[in-house]
Amino acid sequence: MPYFFHEKDSLLHLQSKAVSYVLKIYPSGLIGNVYWGPRLSEPQDLSSLICLRDLRNPEDPAPVDYENREDILYQEYPSGGVSDFRPPAFRVVNPDGSVISNLRYHSHRAEPGKPALPGLPALWCSRQEEADTLRIRLEDALTGLSLELFYTIFTDTGALVRSARFFNNGPEPCFLTRAFSLSLDLPPGEFDSIHLAGSWARERHIVRQPLKGGALLVESSRGISSHQENPFIALAEPSAGEEKGLVYGFNLVYSGSFSALAARDQFGSTRVLLGLNPECFSWKLEAGEHFQTPEGVMVFSREGLGGLSRTFHRLYRNNLIRGQDRERPILINNWEATYFNFTADKILDIAREAAALGIELFVLDDGWFGRRDKDNSSLGDWVEDPRKLPGGLKDLAVKIRETGLQFGLWFEPEMVSPDSRLYREHPDWCLHVKGRHRTEIRNQLVLDLTRAEVREAIIRMVSAILQEVPISYVKWDMNRPLTETGSPALPPDRQRETGHRYVLGVYDMMERLVSAFPRVLFEGCAGGGGRFDPGILYYMPQIWTSDNSDAVERLKIQYATSLVYPLSSMGAHVSAVPNHQCGRIAPLETRGSVAMSGIFGYELDITALSPEEKETLRRQIGFYKERRRLIQTGDLYRLKSPFIDSRNDGNETGWIIVSPGKDQALAFYARTLAVPNPGLAVLNLAGLDRGFTYRVTGKTSYTASGEVLMQAGIRLPSWWGDFQSCLWALQKI
């Protein structure tokens, strides 16, 4: 097992094929990080890694008491209320009302493989030799509080997964008011911070800026990971680009309110914290109880942002997403074709046309249940509307399957409409605080999934449909954040647990439904990309990336999302023009090329297309089917960024997907606005084998070596007009 204990210097060394992580047990019992970077070989003397700041006053010969100056130590999971004045990783309100904790090293043990986290999504390994786990136990002798820190290092990727578990071994209850999943103190250095920010229809745009004094806070307090921020933060040396430079990445396996903090201290070192948002959290720990934080994932790269991304992608494909090896079908969704205004006949017309074009799955979206003619009613009443589906849902599904298509269905299981039978029968089943106004967003309220009886009722209704109707795919939507986040089922001293208990309730529902219906492909959605996080990917292998399906906007959304998440997780559709979100008119070829860099599908009325447009769709579908495996499992190299910064003008976007064996590749390029009188332009490819010869098929076909394609580039065509794109297929010969 790649774990070493240097007893003389009290050093714990976790090692993968490419990365080492070294911890120090200080004489006081505090735990600190002394190294995270390229692999250090064993055996060797690592005592030189132990470095304390020299704070001696030259006029005062007295030695500095390092062990009682916690603010000068690099700590691994620091507490508050003591001599460390930087942001703490946790805070406990003790039975006496104090918030002081003195957790000190008690023991440690290592084991092969990786433990699961009951009730929480967690990374996993199919073979014990894929990973090794170190557990460090700390105890507070005065209060009886103890803490177990989990460290799992994955052998191939070097990714490190961390979490914390608190135990109340004392005789009285205490309250956790802050419990981050990970904390890390990095030595002094200049960094750029990187995070993914945006809004509905503009999710996950890259924000990169120098990290100066003070703190950068990235957070969501919406009860979901949110459209506005993503539970990801990275620190990169200022010169780091796509393929060169040191980058540290942090991602939280969680779908609720979170906080990510990067704070530079007075000495220039940086503390990173990632975990539950303390503004939205408190947890009562009764005597004998424990609390488990979600997992945080840490990735180190010295191959720039591209190396960071490929590590995250491989890790999530192989050790987070279940059912990753399933080939995803090309789908058509009726939402932008019909919205709420459809009949069974109209749906069947679209399905028959889709089958003729080679599409594989039809998805019936919102509007099939209750009396759902617009978004102001019926959520929670999961029974088909006989006005729209006179033969019933099963009859429609059977007829669609007779065309050769699979059948999929939209649900929003976490919500209830005030105008619904469910709400009239159970008005207390939504999140609310007695006597307070209930905020409606999109004419709906959030069900109180902290309550077992509410979850049982929804699971029964959804299961009844999945058992009766031949459904191959479920789109699980969630269209609003949490407000009035309280529950009448919880006592006053546990009300601030509601937000986290809600997320645990969502996970419970997802786990039970996914397990009960293993042949159903589940796709996550939250008003588009409002809950695009590793927690959802554990249950659902793909997520609807954004409600904005405009190809030009999707360049930024999909490019930035790929910083952390693999292409196999991104739902991407071709939609109609003018685009329904921004009115843009982009060529059908470009809409298809962009959508092919993800889980491909359509969302438009294909019965209204011209014969020429249908032929274009037929070609796109055939092209994607031939390269589907490559797109869903290949390595991504970003070549040109759609974001304006010191390196780019934002007018060009490029990337290439390369098979693991480098024998196949798919290169993509888009130019947003036309350039008058352009000169000769090339796109330098990446990730190929320099010694291979490839046949390149695009606007023209020719052969070239990997070395030429990467060093000299591939010539770009001359275009007339805005929003143009091109795809090149590469095959080793």
Q: Which of 144, 150, 141, 135 has the alpha carbon at shortest distance from 167?
A: 144
SS3 content of the chain, % helix, strand, coil (to 5): 25, 30, 45
Kindly give, in sequence order, each residue whose CB lies less than 8 Å from that of residue 275, ignoring residues fewer than 6 positions away: 89, 179, 180, 181, 182, 252, 254, 258, 259, 293, 294, 296
Report the run of H or E that residue 503 belongs to, with start and end: helix 498-516
Q: Which of 154, 126, 130, 150 has the alpha carbon at shortest distance from 138?
A: 150
Which amino acid is present at 429? W
- First-to-last alpha carbon distance for the chain, in angstroms, is 41
The answer to whether 88 and 78 have CB atoms below 8 angstroms apart is yes
Cα-based distances in Å from 605 to 136, 301, 353: 57, 44, 10
Residue 223 to residue 483: CA distance in whole angstroms: 8
Question: Which two tokens mark 217?
Answer: 């806070």
Give me the catalytic one of 84, 265, 365, 547: 547
CA atoms within 13 A on the CB side of 532: 38
Give me the catalytic one of 477, 533, 550, 635: 477
Q: What is the dihedral of CA 720, 726, 732, 733, to 10 degrees?
A: -40
Residue 392 to residue 216: CA distance in whole angstroms: 53
The answer to whether 450 and 192 have CB atoms below 8 angstroms apart is no
Report the run of H or E that residue 357 belongs to, with start and end: helix 344-357
Chain-centre distance of CA 319, in angstroms?
14
- The phi, psi pair for 318, rounded to 5°, reads -95, -25
Kindly give, in sequence order, each residue whose CB lies less than 8 Å from that of residue 703, ignoring residues fewer than 6 positions away: 693, 694, 695, 696, 733
The answer to whether 542 and 569 have CB atoms below 8 angstroms apart is yes
Q: Which residue has the tokens 């196949």?
A: 664
Rg (CA), the chain: 27
3-state secondary structure 42-87: CCCCCHHHCCCCCCCCCCCCCCCCHHHCHHHCCCCCCECCCCCCCC
Residue 363 to residue 329: CA distance in whole angstroms: 11
Q: Which residue has the tokens 């692999």?
A: 39
Residue 195 to residue 261: CA distance in whole angstroms: 11
Q: Which of 531, 473, 479 has the alpha carbon at shortest distance from 507?
A: 531
Q: How many beta carbons lie within 10 A of that of residue 275, not counting itself?
A: 28
Q: Which of 690, 710, 689, 702 has the alpha carbon at shortest distance from 728?
A: 702
Helix (H, G, I), strand (E, B) or coil at 705: strand
Q: Which of 566, 560, 504 has the alpha carbon at shortest distance from 535?
A: 504
The pairing of beta strand 542-544 with beta strand 521-524: parallel
Please provide the size of the chain in residues: 733
Question: Which two tokens mark 57?
Answer: 């006053």
Facing residues of 290 across strands?
167
84 in catalytic set: no
Facing residues of 249 across strands?
234, 299
325 in catalytic set: no
DSSP characters over 114-151: ----TTS-----SSGGGEEEEEEEEE-TTT-EEEEEEE
The pairing of beta strand 445-446 with beta strand 415-416: antiparallel
DSSP characters over 565-609: S-GGGEEEEEE-SS-TTT-----HHHHHHHHTSSEEEEES-GGGS
Question: Which two tokens mark 560?
Answer: 């930035």
Active site residues: 477, 547
